[in-house]
Amino acid sequence: MKVGLFVSVVLLGFSSSGMGGEPTPTAAGLVERAKSECASFEGGKFHATDQAITLHDFTGDGTPEELVDASRFSCSTSASMWGGSGGTFLWILADGEEYEFLAHKWRVVDVDGQNVLLLAVHSSECGDTVGPCYRALVWSDGFRTPG
C-alpha cells in the first residue's frame, strides 16, 4: 500500500508536458510506462519501491535531475522485464532528454564538486576478460565517458 501511494504521489507530482513539441520525459512517465509494460505481459502486477526515483544534480545548475532505477521495479509475471545478465535499466532525465544505461549497480560520487555517475557494467564493456568493469560518466552537455 505504501508503494502504491508513493507511485500515485509521484505520478501526480510530476508534469509530463513540455514547452511545445515533444513532451519532456519525466520520472513519473517512466514509472507509468513500466507499469503498463508489466500489465500488458499476462496481466502482471507492478511494484516499485520508494527508492526507484532519486534526485542528483549532474548538470551542476543547482537543480537535481531525476534518476529512475528499474532494479527497484518488479512485475509478478516477469523476473527480468527491465534487465538481465547485462544489467538493469537506469534512466536519467536531464535537460529535457532521457539517457538510458544498463548497470548491475551504480553510485554517484562527488569529485571536487562534480557529481560522477559510476556504473558497474557487464565485463564485455571492458574487453574480452571476465571480471569487474566500471564506467564513470560526467555531465558536459550530455554524459561523457572515456572511449
pLDDT single digits (tens) 11-68: 333 333 333 445 568 999 999 999 999 999 999 999 999 999 999 999 999 999 999 9
Confidence of residue 145 (pLDDT cuts 50, 70, 90): confident
DSSP-derived secondary structure letter, 76: T
Residue 91 lies in a domain: yes
| pLDDT single digits (tens) 57-111 | 999 999 999 999 999 999 999 989 999 989 999 999 999 999 999 999 999 999 9
- Has residue 126 got a pLDDT over 70? yes
Quick one: pLDDT at residue 144?
86
Quick one: pLDDT at residue 3?
42
Residue 141 lies in a domain: no
Residue 39 lies in a domain: yes
Domain count along the chain:
1
Residue 93 lies in a domain: yes
The grid cell for 40 is 500488458
Quick one: pLDDT at residue 146?
62
Quick one: pLDDT at residue 24?
64
CA 1 to chain centre: 23
Quick one: pLDDT at residue 93?
96
Distances from the Cα of 122 to the Cα of 102, 106, 128, angstroms = 9, 12, 11
- Has residue 7 got a pLDDT over 80? no
CA atoms within 13 A on the CB side of 85: 3
Residue 127 lies in a domain: no
Residue 38 lies in a domain: yes
Residue 59 lies in a domain: yes
Quick one: pLDDT at residue 23?
59
The grid cell for 144 is 561523457
Residue 117 lies in a domain: no
> Cell 532519486 appears where?
54
Q: What is the span of the domain harbouring residue 39?
A: 2-102
- Cβ count within 10 A of residue 145: 10
